[in-house]
Amino acid sequence: MGIRTKVQMNIAVQLENGDKRVWLPLPASKARFEAALERIDGEFGNFKIKEYNCRVPAMGRGMFMDTPLAVANYLAYRLNKLTEDEILTLCAISHSDYYFDKVQQYIDFTFQTHCYTLLTGITDEEALGMYHIGDPKHYIAEKVLKQYIDRREYGKRLAEAENGVFTSHGYLTSSIGWDLPPKDRPVPESLNLKGYLGEDLYGDWKDYSLTEVIGG
């Protein structure tokens, strides 16, 4: 079993008409969020998201700042469940042409980590060929013929067949493909902080699904 590691996510809330700030580490319960608001004399509708500190592979500033607090809270909760190996796979995805550009894709990934395979250290076609066939300097299962196989060409064709990608972290494949439709994953009520946000920030709040909140 992989070792769990913590992905740090923080968000600060600030009164619109003042300079009081408080950092709120995510994920946070509703009680912790209320306590943070009390520290800045915050009430419904009179605070704003001022700044954030986020350590998530390839998650751009604009992507996160456009995300409602409830969804960001759910994202932090799900990311904290990832193992070190799964986080490395996420890093590999972020360094490929299939990097995530929606918050929902990150959340979906946490439910589907078993669908991705990362061969660390395999960063090109020749390395992939050698991984499957073996080093040409050695006999493999007494099949001398393997010494004469073009490992680079073999790795290239295998990657094409598997629709795999090479990254600086290794060779990555997905058993479910790369261009997947978003899944509707409502934010659990225990993590749903939407009731504390003003309409001036995110519009008229209702029971949005995750897909609706971030625009699918």
In this structure, are 31 and 105 located in the same domain? yes
- Report yes or no on 97 lying in a domain: yes
- Report yes or no on 204 lying in a domain: yes
- Report yes or no on 3 lying in a domain: no
Crossing angle for the helix pair 69-79 and 103-111, to the nearest 10 degrees: 30
CA distance 216 to 209: 10
In this structure, are 143 and 103 located in the same domain? no
AA identity, residue 20: K
In this structure, are 44 and 64 located in the same domain? yes
In this structure, are 184 and 161 located in the same domain? no
In this structure, are 37 and 143 located in the same domain? no
> Facing residues of 11 across strands?
24, 52
- Report yes or no on 83 lying in a domain: yes
Cα–Cα nearest to 113, from 76, 148, 86, 145? 86
In this structure, are 46 and 145 located in the same domain? no
CB of 201 closer than 8 Å to CB of 50: no
Overall domain count for the chain: 2
Per-residue model confidence (pLDDT) at position 2: 53
Element housing 45 (H / E)? none
Instruction: Print the domain residue range for 129.
Output: 124-167
Query: What are the 10-residue block averages of pLDDT along the chain, 216 residues in total?
Result: 54 58 85 84 67 75 73 89 91 92 91 96 93 65 59 91 94 92 87 55 36 33
- Report yes or no on 153 lying in a domain: yes
Output the CA torsion sign for 196, 201, 204, 209: negative
In this structure, are 51 and 93 located in the same domain? yes
Indicate the pTM of the whole model.
0.77
Count of all residues that appear for the chain in the document: 216
In this structure, are 185 and 105 located in the same domain? yes
- Report yes or no on 172 lying in a domain: no
In this structure, are 58 and 155 located in the same domain? no
In this structure, are 79 and 14 located in the same domain? yes
- Report yes or no on 4 lying in a domain: no
- Report yes or no on 1 lying in a domain: no
In this structure, are 50 and 32 located in the same domain? yes
Cα–Cα nearest to 196, from 14, 12, 42, 80? 42
Distances (CA, A) of 156 to 127, 139, 147: 10, 22, 17
In this structure, are 41 and 105 located in the same domain? yes
CB of 73 closer than 8 Å to CB of 24: no
End-to-end, the C-alpha distance of the chain in Å comes to 33
